[in-house]
Structures are given as structure tokens and as C-alpha cells.
Structure 1
Amino acid sequence: MRGEILHYDEDQGFGFLTGADGNRYSFAREDMRRETSLARGAAVEFQPDRGQARNVYSVRLQASASPGATAPAAAPPQQAALRPAAAQHFGRAADAGPAQSTGLWDYFWRAVTRNYFNFADRARRKEFWAFCLFWTISVIAVVAIGLAADAAVGDLEPGQEMPAMTVGLCGLFILASIPPWIGLIVRRLHDIGLTGWLAILCFIPTIGGLATLVFALIPTQTRENQWGPVPQGVRI
């Protein structure tokens, strides 16, 4: 089958590609017919085997090494015929975009912006704990702002009712952070190879906190699964 390289790490000897059937396949160094450098976007041929690509080899390398051309004049048409295949993108190749930052703040910022309603991909442990860290800092900041506002209007005086600004701001912040929290837990479950529906356990009284902690501590699956490739920054 014809395919296209999405990623290949020469140091780890692991990569994944997308085939003409629109599916992703992972492969290792031992699955390559010959040791060669495979850049992203390179056209290859391979044999699909239950999500694994076998006998992977570069189409261009194979074509240049093949003795099929008997005359030098025949080489340019063959190379021209290969160019469209090398430039063609199959399936979900567009998902392999530019590398994203793996800093703690970057993970949190993406969670509250781009991934606000993302319930489909994977989230490594660092991404989960980065969100926990900055979410906690944000709660403290919101409480501080609310208390300062209540103090300015005299709601913190003895005998006064509950601090309305503090309660209101905290309530709004928590409600606004529910979608990214659920999405993060679902993506964390996907990252360890479990269905996202198990996120329901995290909202059950008594066991919810323990379930969330267990899901957050399990290491990433160091292979592509049905929810996507291994997250960036994870050592395979």
C-alpha cells in the first residue's frame, strides 16, 4: 500500500504513517526494509498488518535503485510520475502539524483556549498536572480579587452577609472551567488506552477524587492508539 510518513524518530527507532486507506499505522526500525532517513511527508510503500506497517521502504529510493529504466531518457518521466505521489497527503496527515510547546503554561493555555471543548485526543501526565497547577493558582487569584472587592464595599465587616463578590466570582470561574476539566480527563483516559466514558467515575462522591488521581498517575501508552499518536515530549 502507498503511504506517507507523518513522523519518524531515528533515535528511538519509532514512527507512524498514514496510508491511502485513510488509517494510521505505526512502525519500528525493524519494520523498515532498509535503514534510511525518513522525513515527514516522504512517500513510502508498506504492508498493513493490524495497525502496524511492515516492510516499509521509500518509494523514491526504490525507484532510483531499480534497474527498470534501460535508457537515461526514460528516467525523467518516471521521476515526474513519482512527484505527485510524494506530495499527496492521505487520511489524517493534516493532523501532524508543527511541533507544539510542552511547557507547563502552554499546556494550560491550550486547555482553556484551543482544547476547551476537545474530548477526542490524548493528554500526557505533564499536561494534566500543568492544568491542575495553574487552575489552582487561578482560583487563588480569583478569591483574592473577590475578597478585595468585598472589602472595598464593606461586605467583610463583622455581622455582614456572605461576601457576594467572592462567592460570585468563584462560582463563575468554576462553572467556566468545567468543560476543559472534563475534556482533560477524557483525553488523559485516552492517553492510557481507556474509554473517555470512565470520566464519569471522577464525579462520583467519595471515589471521584481517588479515581482522578489514579488516572492522572498512570504512564502514557508509548505507542499510537485509536485516539491518536504518542503526545509530543513523551520518551518512547
Structure 2
Amino acid sequence: MRGEVLSYDDGTGAGLISGDDGARYSFTRSDLQQLAPLRAGARVDFIAADGLATQVFIVAQTQASPAAGGYTPGVAGSGASLDWKALFLDANGRIGQKDYWIGFGILFAANMLLSWLPLIGFLISLAATYAGICLASKRLHDMGKSGWLAAIPYGVFIAAIVLSAVSFIGMMGAATYDNGMGMMAGAGFMGLLWTAAVVLNIGFVIWLGVTAGQPEDNLYGPPPQPLAKF
């Protein structure tokens, strides 16, 4: 049977088709048979059963005109000169290298300013962590990799905190027995640990910023449109 896509949300992977028989059929991303962006209005061929559409093939699709100030799911930045929502609040879709560096620069500058506000700044910085995860996730998607890899920097710092706590306890034990060498070894280990954590995280940021994205459609959507039009 053939029909027309009424809606499709790339974030949830759920969509709705109006069949040529007048009935409506729901479908999910797993029912799509082609690795291609899907927009409302696309003509599709599918198998209908009990209100569900399976084996959905795209037959024809027109280029959608983005609404002013909006963006197409899976295409971060379409329809806006700088789409803040797509950049910082949406972990789905893809962004390019330029948009990543712009977003990273904004977050870095904001965190530097917030560091001057003892308590409020710290709380806001924690909330901004989500924006950083969204930014890294979309960049990873553009490279064809899972957005879950965006957790690497946070995992490294958590490991550093835990190991530093263990080392500090050891240093306190060494101090109890007046073991100067033990205290120096503990302090040196903590210094190397945090140096390694910082270097690894800087390397991760650079890797995201310099690695080119995939030039074709991938599992996370079509190649991204530029977010920054300046």
C-alpha cells in the first residue's frame, strides 16, 4: 500500500502515515527500509497490518521549507542563524566542526564567568553540563559514532576523584606514621593523575573539533546544515 507521511520525529523515532485507503498507520524508525532522512509529506510504500506500517520505503520526497526560527529534527540548525535549542538542548541530530567550536567556546566562556560566582555559578555550571553533553553527542553523531561517548570526559574526572580520595587516605596514613616518602609518593601520584585527566579531556575536545564528519547520510540523519550563518 502507498500513503503519505503525516509526521515523523527523529528524536523518538515514531511517525504516522495516512494511507491511500483513508486509514492512518503508525510506524517506528526500525520499520524504515532506507538510510535516508524522512520528512512529513513524503510518499511511501508500506505493508499495513492492524494499524501499523512495516517495511516502509520512501517513494518520493520534496525538500521541506523550514519554518522561521525552527529546525528540522535530525538536522541541527536548519532554519535559524544560530539555533540555540538545537545547539545546546537537543542531543539528537548532527553538527559540523565549526558549530562545535562555536558552542564549545560559548560554554567555556560562560563557565569562566560563572567561576566568579561561588555557589550560584557552581549550580549553573552543573546545569550547563547537559548543554555540553548535547554538543558533544551531536558532533559524535556527525562522525557516525554513538553519542554515549560524550560521557568519556565525565567518566575520566570521576575516576580521578575516586583515585585521588584513595591516595589522600593513604597519605593521611603515611602522615600518621611520619612516613615522608609515602606522603611524597601519594602527592606525586595525585599530581600525575590529574595531569593525565586534563590531558585526556583536552585531547577528547580536540578530537571532536578536528575530525571531519561523514559526508553522507548516516544513522543519525543527513549531513548537518551550518548553525552559524556568520
TM range (shorter): 0.3 to 0.5
Larger Rg: 1
TM-score, scaled relative to structure 2: 0.47
- TM-score w.r.t. the length of structure 1 is 0.46
Greater relative contact order structure (CA < 8 Å, 6+ sep): 2
